[in-house]
Amino acid sequence: MVELDILMIEDDELLRKSIHDKLSKKGHKVRACESLVEARGLLNKNTFDLCLLDMRLPDGNGIEFLGAEKKKTADTEFVIMTAFADVNSAIAAIRNGAYDYLPKPFEDEQLQKIVRNVAKEVELRQRVKTLSRLSVGSHDDVWHFDNMIGTEALRQTFETAQRIAKAPDTTVLIMGESGTGKGMLAQAIHRLSPRADKPFVDINCSAIPGQLMESEIFGYERGAFTDAKNRKPGLLEVANEGTVFLDEIGDMDLNLQGKLLKVIEDKSFRRLGGASVTTVDVRIVAATNRNLKERVKEGKFREDLYYRLSVIPITMPPLREHRKSIQPLALYYLSFLNRQIGRDMKGYTDQALQAMDAYSWPGNVRELRNTVERGVLLSQGELIDVADLSLPGASEDEGGDSGAMEPMSLADCEKKLIKTVLESVDGNKNKAAEILKIHRTTLYKKIEEYGLGK
């Protein structure tokens, strides 16, 4: 189920906390307030999928508020909650654009059912939007494909992927360095294909040893080996009617390559220890950062499998070959991470942008995203500066107040940010949670995890 951004406007503190905790446990991001004035400010600055709105509030009428706000926020669904339920108010709520009407007191399942229904609406809306996402943007010729963006250098890649998406049985081979977005492209092809409502199963061929990989992919019958106590279906069966993404296909065991070839050609296989043939309907999308032609010459990759996989080859270029994409990607990830982390960063300093443009990005788009996340976590101002990015080689001369910081993990960045905020509020956890825009319970868990309470 889609995780929703939810705004709750309720002046009853106990009910507000109860709903907040229940919805948060389901994975939704919930912002709560107790007045219409505060709610207007939040709606003006943020985008919400669902607004749970009390009908009678200290500073106004919820239905009147709904009528005014619904005109400005068409994609936000409003649900009226009230202890003063009657037919007239229900009709008024629906006429003003309410998605549903929830009389108090209500059972948790009543609320959860409405939330699930809204989640389905949001998911459908997102699906409709993605069907027409391949287009030249209105600014700096930025191209969009599903949730991927890039400049002119990626135009042909995106157009090819869009055509492939419409052909649900075509095998695809995606090539490119680590971190270029091969997995994202595979998911985009799946989401925009007729198989979109079926499973997408991601298998990393370099992460699991050969024999174990075979049992994971094809499954096994009871007694096939010592620990096979029960029959287990493989990932190919799990993905039936959907898409199987074989990442790092160049590292797959040679014996397994032969069995995979049979699956691609016949759509059938046998489980380990089994005699009967299992048939599946899956699309195979493979990816590699290796030169498969060289692997074939070295005898480490089957030539027949290589040609069968590369019916439609796509290459994801390294970021250094489409540098004009750096700033659009940095802005895109900033917007995304602001929403995910709960910050309101306005952008980057000129020096930070210059440092990003000058950097070689050996880790490609993945490294760029991680760098932006580090900046969002560490920055103390409204703009991310060079020091916040911790780019190797970035120094005072390129802008910022200090020299380059030592590279650190995202966990270390998060620990440093939480420690800094706690120190700034003299250890007041409620204030710290408010500044960090996370729930108090989440903050307590992070303090314990990082040993900051000692």
**Mean pLDDT per 10-residue section of the chain, whose length is 454 residues:** 86 91 91 91 89 90 87 83 76 81 86 88 62 41 81 88 90 94 94 90 83 82 69 86 94 90 89 82 94 94 94 92 92 86 86 92 92 89 90 54 50 76 75 73 81 74
φ, ψ dihedrals at 46, nearest 5°: -135, 165
Tell me, yes or no, if the pTM score tops 0.85.
Answer: no
- Detail the DSSP E strand segments found in 249-384: 268-269, 278-279, 283-288, 312-315, 347-348, 383-384
* Residue bearing tokens 């005699």: 275
Task: Return the pLDDT at 437.
Answer: 65
CATH class in words for 137-317? alpha beta
Q: How far apart are CA 200 and CA 189, in angstroms?
A: 10
Would 5-130 and 137-317 be classified into the same CATH topology?
yes
| The predicted structure's pLDDT at residue 206 | 82
The partner residues of 349 in beta bridges, in order of sequence, read none
Q: How far is CA 148 from CA 182, 244, 335, 407, in A?
A: 11, 20, 14, 27
Structure tokens at 202: 């991601």
pLDDT computed for residue 226 by the predictor: 64
Architecture of the 5-130 domain? 3-Layer(aba) Sandwich (3.40)
First to last CA, the chain: 38
What is the predicted pLDDT for the residue at 133?
A: 43
Q: What is the CA radius of gyration of the chain?
A: 26
CATH of range 320-450; options 1.10.8.60, 3.40.50.300, 1.20.140.10, 3.40.50.2000: 1.10.8.60
DSSP per position, 306-334 = HHHHTTEEEE---GGG-GGGHHHHHHHHH
Q: What is the pLDDT of residue 140?
A: 52
Residue 49 and residue 124 in contact, taking contact as beta carbons nearer than 8 Å: no
> How do strand 60-61 and strand 243-247 relate by DSSP bridges?
unpaired
The per-residue pLDDT for 449 is 82
Domain ranges of the chain: 5-130, 137-317, 320-450
CB distance 133 to 145 below 8 Å: yes
The tokens of 361 are what?
């990005």
